[in-house]
């Protein structure tokens, strides 16, 4: 997995509610755990754009409700500082559901997706409506 080219703060902690931005059948997620990274003792781990997260589906299709799924965060309310000095932030926290092979389950993404996610996961650019 490729590293990120921008500086961003990790703003999503366990228990955060994240909206689903694809057509997989889920509507809202609740964050459980960050995949592949740990935190310090006594400190909550946090996730940002491009991170893989384990979450449970709170609202949506009955086949997914209360089941743990893997998601990739594509938008956050917290701003991203890019190397050229541009700052980008979105109006909501959004993620898409992915499989074990890091490929998206849905066939289209609603709304914009951050360029940092496309650098890391190229297949998501094919189903995105807009890359910012």
- 3-state SS of the chain is CCCCCCEECCCECCCCEEEECECCCEEEEEEEEECCCCCCCCCCCCECCCCEEEEEEEEECCCCECCEEEEEEEECCCCEECCCCCEECCCCCEEEEECCCCCECCCCEEEEECHHHHHHCCHHHHHEEEEC
**pLDDT tens-digit profile of 64-100?**
999 999 999 999 999 889 888 899 999 999 999 999 9
Any domain includes 11? yes
Domain count, the chain: 1
Any domain includes 1? no
Question: In which domain, by residue range, is 127 found?
Answer: 7-131
Any domain includes 42? yes
CATH number, position 91: 2.40.150.20
Q: What is the mean pLDDT of residues 43-72?
A: 93
Any domain includes 2? no
pTM: 0.88
At 8 the pLDDT is 72
């Amino acid at each position: 997995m490729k590293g990120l080219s921008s500086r961003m703060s990790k703003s999503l902690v366990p228990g955060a509610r994240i909206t689903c931005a694809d057509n997989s059948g889920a509507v809202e997620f609740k964050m459980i755990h960050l995949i592949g990274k740990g935190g310090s003792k006594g400190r909550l781990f946090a996730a940002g754009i491009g991170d893989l997260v384990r979450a449970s589906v709170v609202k949506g299709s009955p086949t997914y409700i209360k089941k743990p799924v893997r998601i990739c965060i594509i938008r956050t309310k917290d701003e991203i500082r890019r190397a050229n000095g541009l700052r980008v932030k979105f109006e909501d926290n959004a993620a898409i559901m992915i499989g074990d092979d890091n490929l998206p389950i849905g066939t289209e993404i609603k709304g914009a997706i951050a360029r940092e996610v496309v650098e890391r996961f190229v297949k998501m650019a094919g189903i995105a409506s807009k890359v910012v």
